[in-house]
């Protein structure tokens, strides 16, 4: 066995251990510490991100609750507005109905008064014409012409007699 790789050489063994220890020291100082520090920072960043996500989730839940509360309040207010509007519309409808009925009653009353006035005028006119006709007939019957003053006195007397009989 002459293979130098398989033979134990104490100098090579010491140099190999010494090289390993120096390399391990250098790696620990220049590679592992920065890597551990970077891993620590990454772990802190992940923890902070998880905490931020939890806070964002809580904030979202709070905003959702606030939005739901605002929507409920808006619905209640809208229903109140609709209710007030309906009440106002009913009140206005009732007022308009009352006003229309009052106007109709006034128009009917005015029409009745106008009818009564026109009826009185018509009756008065008919009375005068009946009296004039009666006087004309009486005048022809008597063959005499009645004077204007006699005519007026006869008319007034006839009107009085008709009013007395109607009362």
The CA-atom distances, in angstroms, between 125 and each of 48, 122, 139, 148 are: 111, 5, 20, 19
pLDDT single digits (tens) 121-163? 888 888 888 777 777 777 666 655 667 777 778 778 877 877 7
pLDDT single digits (tens) 72-83? 999 999 999 999
pLDDT single digits (tens) 152-167? 787 788 778 777 777 6
Q: What is the pLDDT of residue 143?
A: 52
Its pTM stands at 0.41
Check pLDDT > 80 for residue 2: no
| Nearest 10 degrees: Cα torsion 26, 27, 29, 35 | 160
């Amino acid at each position: 066995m002459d293979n130098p790789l398989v033979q134990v050489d104490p100098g090579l063994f010491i140099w190999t251990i010494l090289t390993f220890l120096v390399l391990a020291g250098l790696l620990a100082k220049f590679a592992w510490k920065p890597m551990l520090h970077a891993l620590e920072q990454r772990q802190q960043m992940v923890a902070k991100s998880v905490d931020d996500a939890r806070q964002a989730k809580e904030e979202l839940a709070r905003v959702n609750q606030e939005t739901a509360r605002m929507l409920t309040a808006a619905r209640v207010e809208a229903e109140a507005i609709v209710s007030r509007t309906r009440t106002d519309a009913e009140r206005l409808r009732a007022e308009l109905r009352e006003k229309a009925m009052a106007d109709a009653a006034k128009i009917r009353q005015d029409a009745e008064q106008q009818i009564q006035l026109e009826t009185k005028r018509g009756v008065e006119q008919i009375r005068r014409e009946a009296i004039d006709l009666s006087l004309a007939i009486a005048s022809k019957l008597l063959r005499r012409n009645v004077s204007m003053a006699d005519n007026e006195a006869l008319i007034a007397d006839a009107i009085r007699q008709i009013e007395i009989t109607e009362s």
